[in-house]
Amino acid sequence: MFYFVYVLLNPDNKGLYIGFTTNIKQRYQDHISGKGGFTQRYKNWKLIYFEGYKDKKDALNREKFLKGGSGRKYINKQLKNFLGEGAL
């Protein structure tokens, strides 16, 4: 089994969502169909980044890091480099 940490971007409000799952396709469908808790307010989510892990603990630790202060700075910097300044 693989574990995924992923980042969604809402282009309408420039919001980011960071999550964890074992089934990235199904989880993304849940988000865009309104089944996600935080993400159900907005429907225009785009999957822009994900990482795969063999160990659940590693994936959960990575999700926790990316949701924290220095992790948010890191992911914002990486995504600005990838997506361009105006994307975030």
Q: Which domains does the chain have, with CATH numbers?
A: 3-87 (3.40.1440)
Alpha-carbon distance values, 68 to 25, 30, 72 (Å)? 25, 24, 6
Q: How much is the pLDDT for 77?
A: 87
Adjacency order of strands within the sheet including 46-53 = 15-21, 3-10, 46-53
Q: What is the pLDDT of residues 58-75, one digit of tens each?
A: 999 999 999 999 999 988
The whole-model pTM stands at 0.87
Q: What is the pLDDT of residues 4-14, one digit of tens each?
A: 999 999 888 88
Using CA atoms, how far apart are residues 16 and 11, in angstroms rounded to an integer?
A: 9
For range 55-60, the mean pLDDT = 98
How confident is the prediction for the chain on average, in pLDDT?
Answer: 89
